[in-house]
Amino acid sequence: MSIQVHEIYKSYGQVNALDNISFEVKSGELFGLIGPDGAGKTTLFRILTTLLLPDRGNARVAGYDVVRDLNAIRRHVGYMPGRFSLYQDLTVEENLEFFATIFGTTIAENYDLIKDIYVQIEPFKDRRAGKLSGGMKQKLALSCALIHRPKVLFLDEPTTGVDPVSRKEFWEMLKRLQEKDITILVSTPYMDEAALCDQIALMQDGKILEIDTPEAIVRHYPKPIYKVGAHDMYLLIETLKAYPHRHSVYPFGEYVHYTDTRMDFDSGELQTFLEAHNLSEIHIEETAPTIEDTFMELAKP
């Protein structure tokens, strides 16, 4: 096991940021922590990278204890914090040299590991980090996190605020790093990215709701889901919420995802109800559950 987390608790005053968190990540695995803002992802990263002490519980990373073996962990892990911690006034190359120097290495020594990523920003190596686009900052931050050849890489929301093309390229880079036997723990609020991980933990309010492969998480969804459309999205949601047999109702792209409490759901009956409430252009169709649907179901109060 590359990461072992056992019954970790952490509170800030009244807020239980982490409430009995346990999971394991195998060597070479790409493991995703999926959850909205405030779920506790950053707190967990900070504990696993030795920047914060847990109130209770223990964790090991690359075989080292996060409380006792602080120096060893810092040598063996790479951490890309949420707001890329680059030095804005240093150039691209100076940032990378700085991170190499603090780890007692050089860019040349590890160039093969970062080459794929760094070549894309190398043409801008004399530009200050503060003047880079979001996608370029992300690539530089990842290069900096990798420059000492870590065994385990922690990436806290690496794609937040990054354009869709850069997001896609970034996940392709992660897959290539995985082939080089680096274990990766990555957090994201984007459910579509969850499907790209080997295993995911769905997190909310400091708790893990479920851990499994993305395929299994979707397979375990307990009910048929219907996508419902109509001419007025707002009125549609309000009306579905007032339908006596509704189990869940939430917007999903240009449709609303709806589940019913009954086993013998009749779409014709729902259609009549919606028409009686001044809705037109009604469309009701069964659809396959996604990770987001599972999250919504598990997170239901």
Ligand X SMILES: Nc1ncnc2c1ncn2[C@@H]1O[C@H](COP(=O)(O)OP(=O)(O)OP(=O)(O)O)[C@@H](O)[C@H]1O
Interaction site with ligand X (CB under 6 A): 12, 15, 17, 35, 37-43, 157
- Cα 74 from Cα 70, distance rounded (Å): 6
Q: Please provide the DSSP assignment of 74-98 as one string.
A: HHHEEEE-SS----TTSBHHHHHHH
Q: Judge contact between 77 and 149, C-beta under 8 A.
A: no
C-alpha span between 68 and 64 (Å, rounded): 8
Sign of CA dihedral 155, 156, 162, 165: positive
Query: Of the two residues 91 and 188, which places its CB atom closer to ligand X in the complex?
Result: 188
CA distance linking residue 80 with residue 235, whole number of Å: 43
Q: Are 116 and 173 in contact (CB under 8 A)?
A: yes
CB of 82 to ligand X, least distance (A): 6
Smallest gap from residue 136 Cβ to ligand X (A): 22
User: Cβ of residue 74: shortest distance to ligand X, in angstroms?
Assistant: 20
CB nearer ligand X, residue 12 or residue 234: 12
- In terms of CB distance, is 157 or 260 closer to ligand X? 157
Q: Which is nearer to ligand X, 39 or 274 (CB)?
A: 39
Q: How far is the CB of 210 from ligand X (least distance, A)?
A: 16
Neighbours of 4 (CB within 10 A): 16
Give me the least distance between CB of 290 and ligand X, in Å please: 21
For ligand X, which is the closer residue by CB, 40 or 135?
Answer: 40
As a whole number of angstroms, the distance between CA 131 and CA 254 comes to 36
Residue (134 or 224) nearer to ligand X, CB: 134
To ligand X, the closest distance from the beta carbon of 145 in angstroms equals 17
Cβ atoms of residues 210 and 201 within 8 Å: yes
- Residue 101 neighbours by CB distance under 10 Å: 12
Tell me the pairing of strands 30-34 and 199-204.
parallel
Nearest residue (CB) to ligand X, 39 versus 96: 39
Amino acid making up residue 61: V
Give, for 208, the enclosing helix (H) or strand (E).
strand 207-212
CB of 206 to ligand X, least distance (A): 7
Q: Closer CB to ligand X, residue 45 or residue 171?
A: 45
Q: Alpha helix (H) ranges present in 34-119? A: 41-48, 70-76, 92-102, 107-118
Query: CB of residue 35 vs ligand X: minimum separation in angstroms?
Result: 6
Token pair recorded at residue 119:
């070549």
Encoded tokens for 290: 């996604």
